[in-house]
Amino acid sequence: MSTVHSPDSAKLPLALIAGPTASGKSDLAVRLALLLKARGREGVVINADSAQVYADLSALSARPSVEEMQGIEHRLFGTWDGAHACSAADWAKAAREVIGEVHARGAVPILVGGTGLYIRTLLDGIAPVPPIDAGVRLYARGLTLEEARAALHREDPEAAARLNPNDTTRIVRALEVACSTGKPLAQWQAEKVGGIAQAVTLHPAILLPPREWLYPRCDLRFERMLELGAIDEVRALLARNLDPALPVMRAIGVPEITAYLRGECSLEEAQERGAQATRNYAKRQYTWLRNQPPGEWPRIALQDYNAEAIFVSLLRD
């Protein structure tokens, strides 16, 4: 992932606030925008969360309410209909356009989210893999995991050795690419295009609050979702008869509440499962954010965030 973050007056600014679920990143983004406003500059919050992009997931993604936005413009929240999957490439294309619009009017884009693939794709670009041949896709997705692993060992031994042997999604993807293009996935990934890192001055902050503080907030977050209408959201999704494989149908809370609506568990059980899924997701995000972004990106280990101290260089520019 890009390491561009030091102030450069020749480049336009981009603030980045990344953190796990329930870490308070959206609140910090609004506070930063309000600080910019007090200094005569405009800040626009741009969503980088793969659940909050869907219009169908307001309560279930903890999308900021009008009150929580505090009059600050928010973009790419609830932009996609759940019937259409929003890939990292789709989101990055939209984010580049929004960032360009924000810069054009002299404002500061404030990227906020916890979806590492989205952020990495925007900053570093994406491998220009051509569309996968339909016949190859049908073949690869019809294999068992054991068969897919064996086929990948033949077609792309390096990927087979690198990938988790139980990661079906990535194994099948690597196999599809190798069979359809004749080139291993790693070669395509070395040719990434479309990243904006070199065109901006990045002001990043990685929120990693204490886990003993974060996990109870995850439980409270899911409880709050239920209070704000998550059950009705899932009921509406089920009424649309969408493909169960779509991201919107696999979002945290949807499978758990679906089981409750179908009489497969009690509401209390659904709530506990949803809270556990939220904690598990936060743990994965925490691990990724601690290890994957460049080491010089500031890691904020406190739960009481001081936006003025964190973004001193941005606020001084």
Q: What is the rounded CA–CA span in Å between residue 195 and residue 123?
A: 5
Backbone angles phi and psi of 132, in degrees to 5? -75, 135
H or E segment and range at residue 49: none
Torsion of CA 285, 86, 220, 264, to 10 degrees: -110
Check whether residue 177 and residue 110 sit in a common domain: no
Last residue of a domain, one of 166, 189, 212: 189
Letter string b/e over residues 87-108, b meaning 16 or more CB atoms within 10 A of that residue's CB: ebbbbbebbeebbeebbeeebb
Check whether residue 145 and residue 293 sit in a common domain: no
Check whether residue 217 and residue 150 sit in a common domain: no
The CATH code of the domain that includes 64 is 3.40.50.300
Is residue 261 included in any domain, yes or no?
Answer: yes
Check whether residue 97 and residue 144 sit in a common domain: no
Residue listed under structure tokens 């209408």 = 229
Number of domains the chain contains: 2
Span 157-200, pLDDT tens digits: 999 999 999 998 899 999 999 999 999 999 998 888 899 999 99
Check whether residue 28 and residue 171 sit in a common domain: no
Is residue 5 included in any domain, yes or no?
Answer: no
Check whether residue 202 and residue 163 sit in a common domain: no
Check whether residue 95 and residue 34 sit in a common domain: yes
Check whether residue 176 and residue 245 sit in a common domain: no
Q: Is 71 helix (H, G, I), strand (E, B) or coil?
A: coil
Contact predicate 40/31, CB 8 Å: no
DSSP 87-109: -HHHHHHHHHHHHHHHHHTT-EE
Check whether residue 24 and residue 98 sit in a common domain: yes
Contact predicate 39/61, CB 8 Å: no
Q: Is 272 helix (H, G, I), strand (E, B) or coil?
A: helix
Check whether residue 101 and residue 199 sit in a common domain: yes
Q: Percent helix, strand, coil in the chain (nearest 5)? A: 50, 10, 40
- Domain holding 155, by residue range, is 134-189
Strands laid side by side in the 43-47 sheet: 74-75, 43-47, 108-113, 12-18, 200-207, 299-300
Is residue 6 included in any domain, yes or no?
Answer: no
Is residue 254 included in any domain, yes or no?
Answer: yes
Is residue 310 included in any domain, yes or no?
Answer: yes
Span 37-68, pLDDT tens digits: 999 999 999 999 999 999 999 999 999 999 99
Check whether residue 246 and residue 275 sit in a common domain: yes
CB atoms within 10 A of CB 25: 22
Q: What is the rounded CA–CA span in Å between residue 203 and residue 14?
A: 6
The Cα angle at residue 79 between residues 76 and 81, in degrees rounded to 5: 155
Q: How far is CA 73 from the centre of its chain?
A: 20
Q: What is the rounded CA–CA span in Å between residue 16 and residue 203?
A: 6
The CATH code of the domain that includes 138 is 1.10.20.140
Tell me the pLDDT of the chain (317 aa) as tens digits: 654 444 555 689 999 999 999 999 999 999 999 999 999 999 999 999 999 999 999 999 999 999 999 999 999 999 999 999 999 999 999 999 999 999 999 999 999 998 999 999 999 998 888 999 999 999 999 999 999 999 999 999 999 999 999 998 899 999 999 999 999 999 998 888 899 999 999 999 999 999 999 999 999 999 999 999 999 999 999 999 999 989 999 999 999 999 999 999 999 999 999 999 999 999 999 999 999 999 999 999 988 899 999 999 999 86
